[in-house]
Amino acid sequence: QVQLQESGPGLVKPSQTLSLTCTVSGGSISSGSYYWSWIRQPAGKGLEWIGRIYTSGSTNYNPSLKSRVTISVDTSKKQFSLKLSSVTAADTAVYYCAREVWDDFGDYSHFDSWGQGSLVTVSS
Amino acid sequence: DIQMTQSPSSLSAFVGDRVTIACRASQNINNYLNWYQQKPGKAPKLLIYAASILQGGVPSRFSGSGSGTYFTLTISSLQPEDFATYYCQQNYNTPPWTFGRGTKVEV
């Protein structure tokens, strides 16, 4: 069973860059038709999809964050990473990494595996 | 972006109740709709994908229906472990994927 684990600083100063890494274990990061996503959740609020990466390096980003987001992958380390620049207090949230998979017919995708979440607080 | 609107935002129910949560999309998304359950301090858990397909290991008391712009998640007989927040999520065509704001099911 694949497992995902986020890691990174829990506190980031305003205007700096938030950096998180997701380590994949119990399965391959580069085989199969998987996309690897970042999703965040401010305290007491809903879920916001940030973006995703395919193992080829192809990315998609949420337009609301696109100018500040970079997602990268290191298949040799079985990791993918999130960088969010110029952060403000509004970026304070629990950040999840998740695997997006397709059904057997390749028609429908869904997030089937999630990390436990990493709380990042933006504060001076 | 496609907007997802869930209703109600919260509901009170008892063990054994039949519970239905609605999710409406701002445009036709066919059946590209997933449902997740989230408990406090935990990551979301997939319940249903493609609007009505039960994820493996999920109890059969959960069911999903709908197509186009209107979808529902039904819990046929609410169990104590079902008290949680439920989110719908669309993945129609191309990103960005979007979630509803959630429905909290409480006693």
Note whether B90 contacts A: Cβ–Cβ < 8 A.
no
Average pLDDT over residues B68-94: 97
Which of B47, B49, B67 to mutate to probe the A interface, most A CBs <10 Å?
Answer: B49
List the single residue in A46, A61, A109 with the smallest CB-CB distance to B99.
Answer: A46
Query: pLDDT, tens digit, for every residue of A25-41?
Result: 999 898 778 999 999 99
- Return d(Cα B74, Cα A102) in angstroms, integer: 24
pLDDT digits (tens, 9 = 90+) for A60-107: 999 999 999 999 999 999 999 999 999 999 999 999 999 999 888 888
Q: Which chain A residues touch B53 with a CB distance below 8 Å?
A: 103, 108
Residues whose CB falls within 8 Å of the CB of residue B74, separated by 6 or more in sequence, listed in order? B18, B19, B20, B21, B62, B63, B64, B65
Q: Judge: A63–B42 Cβ closer than 8 Å, yes or no.
A: no
- B106 CB contacts (<8 Å, ≥6 apart)? B10, B11, B12, B13, B83
